[in-house]
Amino acid sequence: MILRAPRPAEENPLEPADLPVPDPGPGEVRLRVLACGVCHTDLHLAEGELPLPRLPLVPGHQIIGVIDAVGDGVSDIMLRQRVGVPWLHWACGRCDYCRRGQENLCPDARFTGQHADGGFAETMIAPADFVYPIPAGFPDEQAAPLLCAGVIGYRSLRLSEIEPGGRLGLYGFGASAHVTIQVARHWGCQVYVFTRSEDHRQHALKLGATWAGRAPDKPPAPLDSAITFAPAGWLVPHALRALRPGGTLAINAIHMSPIPEMPYDLIYGERTVRSVANATRRDARELLQLAAEIPIHTDVELYPLAEANAVLQRLKQAEIRGAAVLVLPTRGPGSDGR
């Protein structure tokens, strides 16, 4: 499914296309795609809210696949491995950011499904150093949302500076939040969820939320940390109002509507507001390990690849419960990880 030009999701921006099967270059692997999660970022790209450095483009950056070809310099051992590909496609490894462990901020970083063709396809290419073995026991479609929703949610948790047992607020309860709450509960945190959707509030309570309400509501206790997941700037003053002095608000959004003007009092008291941008290889490895330990269960809605436009529309309307995953007809027996 390729994007030739960005359009509103209602106008079906993606179209099916027959592309040549790509060959992996030096240091690269080719995957036979089994499943690919659909992320809000894919919606932003399809609607032209994020830069599109190359068109046409195959979107998709939460990919589970089996390596079926390797390029020069890549060990044959990787052949037939089931791996995941996330949003961070490549970082230079040499700049100041890469050297200090912030490869997510590398100015030359390339992103899957933005600078390079992604996983809304039967095959794709990725650098061998930026794919991750998927723990056995995770079916493909359950593992796919871990690659972005899970990884970026985990980084948001880290940057929110929540401590074990602390009170954490989550604003918006889609794919990323429904994984994040499971890690937070594993750390013994009390989780307060704010969302406009009654269905999402019920989902949050089922996953162990202490309380669920709407964004303007005052939670029953002040929050130590909060994370916003919805790309809505008006949430920020609400989240700050719920935060205790010294608390941190992490904004998990690659694109956001303007943040309204607000009184200084909302950040006075040494409250911190910070954004979360992309994620590192370390984030991906740690989250996948945690996912196996806890174990994390992702709630997924499955769709055939050809229905990618309908999925973008459902995502836009917050109609997905958990995460939406495209499954590929090329899946063979024995690809469910067990």
Q: Is 277 an interacting residue with respect to Zn ion (CB under 5 A)?
A: no
Q: Is 50 an interacting residue with respect to Zn ion (CB under 5 A)?
A: no
Could you give the 3-state DSSP secondary structure of residue 259?
A: coil
Nearest approach, Cβ of residue 149 and Zn ion (Å): 7
Stretch of 11-19, 41-49, 121-129, 207-215 contacting Zn ion, by CB under 5 A: 41-49
User: Given the structure tokens 């030096």, which residue do they identify?
Assistant: 26
Q: Which CB, 169 or 174, lies closer to Zn ion?
A: 174
Q: Which CB, 206 or 255, lies closer to Zn ion?
A: 255
User: Given the structure tokens 């056995």, which residue do they identify?
Assistant: 136
Nearest approach, Cβ of residue 140 and Zn ion (Å): 17
The closest alpha carbon to 318, from 216, 141, 196, belongs to 196
Q: Among 95, 267, 273, 318, which residue sits at the site for Zn ion (rule: CB under 5 A)?
A: 95
User: Given the structure tokens 């980084």, which residue do they identify?
Assistant: 155
Q: Is 256 an interacting residue with respect to Zn ion (CB under 5 A)?
A: no
Nearest approach, Cβ of residue 321 and Zn ion (Å): 18
How is residue 170 written in tokens?
């989550």
* Dist CA 306 CA 316 (whole Å): 18
Q: Is 64 an interacting residue with respect to Zn ion (CB under 5 A)?
A: no
Contact 160, 225 (CB under 8 A): yes
Nearest approach, Cβ of residue 242 and Zn ion (Å): 26
Q: DSSP string of 146-208?
A: GGTHHHHHHHHHHHTT--TT-EEEEES-SHHHHHHHHHHHHTT-EEEEE-S-HHHHHHHHHTT
Report the amino acid identity of residue 193: V
Nearest approach, Cβ of residue 41 and Zn ion (Å): 4
Nearest approach, Cβ of residue 206 and Zn ion (Å): 24
Q: Which CB, 95 or 266, lies closer to Zn ion?
A: 95
* Dist CA 334 CA 135 (whole Å): 15
- In sequence order, what are the residues at sequence separation of 6 or more whose Cβ sits closer than 8 angstroms to the Cβ of residue 88? 103, 104, 109, 111, 112, 130, 278, 279, 280, 281, 284
Q: How many binding residues for Zn ion (CB under 5 A)?
A: 8
* Dist CA 168 CA 310 (whole Å): 33
Q: Which CB, 242 or 326, lies closer to Zn ion?
A: 326
Nearest approach, Cβ of residue 160 and Zn ion (Å): 18
Q: Among 1, 14, 29, 39, which residue sits at the site for Zn ion (rule: CB under 5 A)?
A: 39
To 10 degrees, what angle do helices 175-186 and 149-159 make?
A: 50
Q: Which CB, 98 or 207, lies closer to Zn ion?
A: 98
Q: Is 106 an interacting residue with respect to Zn ion (CB under 5 A)?
A: yes
Q: Is 300 an interacting residue with respect to Zn ion (CB under 5 A)?
A: no
Site map for Zn ion, 16-35, x if CB under 5 A?
A: --------------------
Q: Which CB, 42 or 224, lies closer to Zn ion?
A: 42
- In sequence order, what are the residues at sequence separation of 6 or more whose Cβ sits closer than 8 angstroms to the Cβ of residue 263? none
* Dist CA 264 CA 214 (whole Å): 23
Q: Is 92 an interacting residue with respect to Zn ion (CB under 5 A)?
A: yes
Q: Is 147 an interacting residue with respect to Zn ion (CB under 5 A)?
A: no
Site map for Zn ion, 206-235, x if CB under 5 A?
A: ------------------------------
Stretch of 75-83, 146-154, 192-200, 305-313 contacting Zn ion, by CB under 5 A: 146-154
Which residues form the interface with Zn ion (CB under 5 A)? 39, 41, 91-92, 95, 98, 106, 148
